[in-house]
Amino acid sequence: MGTCWIDFEPLGRRAECVPGETLLDAARRAGVALAAICGGAGSCGRCRVRVMVGDVSSPSETEIHRLGTEAVEQGMRLACQTRIHGGVKVYVPADSLSTTQRLQVEGQAVRVAPNPPVLACPVELPPATLTDLRADAVRLRDALREAHGFGDVALDVAVAQTLPDRLRAQEWRGVAHVRRVGGRAEVVRFGAPDEPPLGLAVDLGTTKIAAHLVDLRTGLSLAADGVMNPQIAFGEDVMARIGYAMQGERQARELQEAVVAAIGGLARTLCGRVGRTPREIVEAVVVGNTAMHHLFVGLPVRQLGTAPYVPAESAAMDVKARDIGLALGEGAYVHLLPNVAGFVGADHVAMLLGTGIPDMDGVVLGLDIGTNTELVLKTPSRLISCSTASGPAFEGAHIRDGMRAASGAIEWVSLDDGEVHWQTVDNAPPVGICGSGVLDAVAVLRRAGVLTAAGRMLDHPRVRRGDDGLEFVLATEGETGHGRPIAISRKDVSAIQLAKGAIRAGIELLMAEAGVAVSDLDAVILAGAFGTYLSVDSILEIGLLPPVPAARVHQVGNAAAVGARLALVSLDERERARAIAARAEYLELTILPEFPNAFAEAMLLSP
Residues contributing to the site for a copy of itself (CB under 8 A): 128-130, 133-138, 141, 155, 157-158, 160-165, 168, 183-184, 297-300, 302-303, 307-315, 317, 319-320, 322-324, 339, 341-342, 586, 588, 591
Closer to a copy of itself at the Cβ: 115 or 162? 162
Closer to a copy of itself at the Cβ: 336 or 525? 336
Closer to a copy of itself at the Cβ: 39 or 127? 127
Closer to a copy of itself at the Cβ: 51 or 155? 155
Distance CA 82, CA 503 (A): 37
Q: Angle at CA 358, nearest 5°, toward 355 and 359? A: 90
The half-sphere exposure of 501 on its side-chain side, counting CA atoms within 13 A, is 20
Closer to a copy of itself at the Cβ: 91 or 309? 309
Sheet holding 184-191, edge to edge: 118-124, 173-181, 184-191, 153-155
Closer to a copy of itself at the Cβ: 134 or 460? 134
Closer to a copy of itself at the Cβ: 82 or 314? 314
Sheet holding 463-466, edge to edge: 463-466, 469-475, 486-489
CB of 362 to a copy of itself, least distance (A): 29
DSSP string, 452-484: -TT--B---TTEEEETTEEEEEEE-TTTSSSSS
Closer to a copy of itself at the Cβ: 136 or 236? 136
- What 3-state DSSP class applies to 244? helix
Q: Give the other-Cβ count within 10 Å of 434's Cβ.
A: 28
H or E, element range at 254? helix 249-273
CB of 456 to a copy of itself, least distance (A): 38
Burial status of residue 323 (CB atoms within 10 A of its CB: 0-12, 13-18, 19 or more): exposed
CB of 512 to a copy of itself, least distance (A): 19
Beta-strand relationship, 173-181 and 184-191: antiparallel
Closer to a copy of itself at the Cβ: 135 or 454? 135
CB of 125 to a copy of itself, least distance (A): 12
CB of 523 to a copy of itself, least distance (A): 29
Tell me the residue type at 303: Q
Burial status of residue 366 (CB atoms within 10 A of its CB: 0-12, 13-18, 19 or more): buried
- What 3-state DSSP class applies to 519? helix
DSSP state of 469: E
CB of 304 to a copy of itself, least distance (A): 9
Q: Give the other-Cβ count within 10 Å of 569's Cβ.
A: 29
CB of 157 to a copy of itself, least distance (A): 5
Q: Are 202 and 263 in contact (CB under 8 A)?
A: yes
CB of 278 to a copy of itself, least distance (A): 19
CB of 151 to a copy of itself, least distance (A): 13
Distance CA 123, CA 462 (A): 73
